[in-house]
Amino acid sequence: MSDFRADGHAAVDWAADYLERVRELPVLAQVERGDIRARLPTSPPDRPEPFSAVLRDLDEVLLPGMTHWQHPRFFAYIANTGSPPGILAELLAATLNSVGFLWRTAPASTELEAVTLDWLAQLLGLPSGWHGHIEDTASTSTLAALAAARHVRPDARFVVCSEHTHSSIDKAAALLGLELRKTPADDSFRLRVDELDLTEAAAVVATVGTTSTGSVDPVAAIAERACAEGVWLHVDAAYAGAAMVCPELRWAFEGVEHADSLVVNAHKWLLTPMDCSCLWSRRGDDLRATHSLVPEYLRTPEDAASLADYGPALGRRFRSLKLWAVLRCYGRDGLQAMIREHLRLAELFEGWVRDEPGWTLEAPRPFSIVCFRREGSDDENEALLARANATGELFISHTKLNGRYVLRLAIGNAGTTEDDVRRAWEVLRECAR
């Protein structure tokens, strides 16, 4: 074990150094497809190599091919943060290496998962008593929830959602053999309830914080319709759910208490490293009836607590440890402070765009995603994005709204400062000249 200790200290120093210098690296990897592969041996070694060789090649071979999600000027997709307590908890979880498919195979992991999901439910203002567990991604959480919806209404053929719902809903529906029916959105990219048709629907999906713009579907009105027609309501709050730690933002969760299931990704805006998707359901028994398939060789007296019975995967690693570490090391105050700062920065950037001739805002901004555009064609905006990202100084992504190419700046990294956002704006304006 002396090697493990020495190698471990070297790995921690590497990690600490990386987090200190990541700001100096190009955000978006400046490599071509195949560059990294070409620098790696085509065959594995016969003889063991020391861990120091892995650390060396991580620096020399892999790092130039990394897009740095931990960079404070990562503004693409949904920016995230692997925070120090979360990172170190992953080391501990891998050290314990428990596999929590039954209560008895990992009692502490299983019970901590229930406790941390209860804690997070309290922080987000959710009703008490919901069953909570962790899946890897929102794709899987949604699959688990929609499978339960199909289970309770086996003759229904449709999943209904808005045209701005995330692609993971399409994927889950396709796996389950359900058809997806997309409801039009209003001018603010929210599902139009007057266009909602729940005929033969197994489920309806409402989004709190769409990927493109952060728009919020009218959950209360959708819930009313879903309840009246006996349709499962799944709420996708993968991104913006985290913001509900701030009471002043809870308008976005109005009606969520009527949801049958709800997903919030702690690995997005809640400081937890990939992957940690939190799924709650007020119908835990239905979730369990859908996914439980206990063969003889796994049968134990404590089955009811076994979390593998609530989703598609049997093997489950100790994901609750990192969420627990994050909730403790930041506390309610720390989480609120980060969300509020990100909203302040997004509002600042939004103001700069609004005030600058030749630039326009393209969507309302409920949270930390700003959608904007430079005057000119779609192609010109696409070229502008490519030029800006090629500087390595920032990384932003795009979407299409009303058929037009739109730039997106998404704030979500805990290291992002006002100077970072200002620098992004400078680079964008320079690249537009």
- Residues in 57-116 that interact with a copy of itself by CB under 8 A: 58, 61-70, 76-77, 80-82, 84-99, 103-109, 111-112, 114-115
Q: Binding of a copy of itself at residue 155 (CB under 8 A)?
A: no
How far apart CA 353 and CA 234 sit, in angstroms, is 35
Minimum distance from residue 206 beta carbon to a copy of itself (Å): 18
Stretch 300-339 residues interacting with a copy of itself (CB under 8 A): 302, 305, 312-318, 321-322, 324-325, 327-334
Minimum distance from residue 355 beta carbon to a copy of itself (Å): 26
> Which listed range, 30-38, 196-204, 342-350, 373-381, lies at the site for a copy of itself (CB under 8 A)?
30-38
Q: Are 75 and 391 in contact (CB under 8 A)?
A: no
Q: Binding of a copy of itself at residue 263 (CB under 8 A)?
A: no
Minimum distance from residue 265 beta carbon to a copy of itself (Å): 8
How far apart CA 370 and CA 355 sit, in angstroms, is 14
* Secondary structure element (H or E) that encloses residue 205, with its range: strand 201-207
CA atoms within 13 A on the CB side of 158: 15
Contact partners, residue 182, CB within 8 Å, separation at least 6: 160, 161, 162, 163, 165
3-class secondary structure, 352: helix
| Strand 277-281 relative to strand 131-135, pairing | antiparallel
Return the number of the residue (154 or 357) whose C-beta is nearest a copy of itself. Answer: 154
Nearest-CA neighbor of 395 among 138, 70, 165, 137? 70
Return the number of the residue (139 or 256) whose C-beta is nearest a copy of itself. Answer: 139
Q: Binding of a copy of itself at residue 120 (CB under 8 A)?
A: yes
Nearest-CA neighbor of 117 among 138, 134, 101, 102? 134
Return the number of the residue (201 or 223) whose C-beta is nearest a copy of itself. Answer: 201
Q: Binding of a copy of itself at residue 9 (CB under 8 A)?
A: yes
Minimum distance from residue 370 beta carbon to a copy of itself (Å): 14
Stretch 199-228 residues interacting with a copy of itself (CB under 8 A): 211-212
Selected binder of a copy of itself within 218, 249, 266, 275 (CB under 8 A): 275
Nearest-CA neighbor of 238 among 78, 3, 95, 346? 78
Nearest-CA neighbor of 77 among 412, 422, 431? 412
Return the number of the residue (92 or 227) whose C-beta is nearest a copy of itself. Answer: 92
Minimum distance from residue 432 beta carbon to a copy of itself (Å): 21
Q: What is the DSSP letter of 395?
A: B
Return the number of the residue (41 or 357) whose C-beta is nearest a copy of itself. Answer: 41
> Which listed range, 220-228, 247-255, 286-294, 422-430, lies at the site for a copy of itself (CB under 8 A)?
286-294
How far apart CA 426 and CA 413 sit, in angstroms, is 19
Selected binder of a copy of itself within 28, 198, 385, 407 (CB under 8 A): 28
Stretch 134-153 residues interacting with a copy of itself (CB under 8 A): 136-140, 143, 147
How far apart CA 415 and CA 13 sit, in angstroms, is 19
Stretch 340-359 residues interacting with a copy of itself (CB under 8 A): none
Q: Binding of a copy of itself at residue 288 (CB under 8 A)?
A: no
Number of residues that bind a copy of itself (CB under 8 A): 143
Tokens linked to 242: 């985290």
Return the number of the residue (233 or 265) whose C-beta is nearest a copy of itself. Answer: 265
Stretch 159-178 residues interacting with a copy of itself (CB under 8 A): 166-168, 170-172, 174-177
CA atoms within 13 A on the CB side of 94: 7
Contact partners, residue 328, CB within 8 Å, separation at least 6: 85
Selected binder of a copy of itself within 60, 229, 375, 400 (CB under 8 A): 400
Q: Binding of a copy of itself at residue 15 (CB under 8 A)?
A: yes
> Which listed range, 133-141, 339-347, 360-368, 421-429, lies at the site for a copy of itself (CB under 8 A)?
133-141
Which CA distances in Å does 401 have to 163, 171, 364, 407?
11, 21, 12, 10
> Which listed range, 195-203, 250-258, 297-305, 346-354, lies at the site for a copy of itself (CB under 8 A)?
297-305
Return the number of the residue (2 or 355) whose C-beta is nearest a copy of itself. Answer: 2
CA atoms within 13 A on the CB side of 400: 7
Stretch 380-399 residues interacting with a copy of itself (CB under 8 A): 397-399
Count the Cβ atoms, other than its own, within 10 Å of residue 24: 7
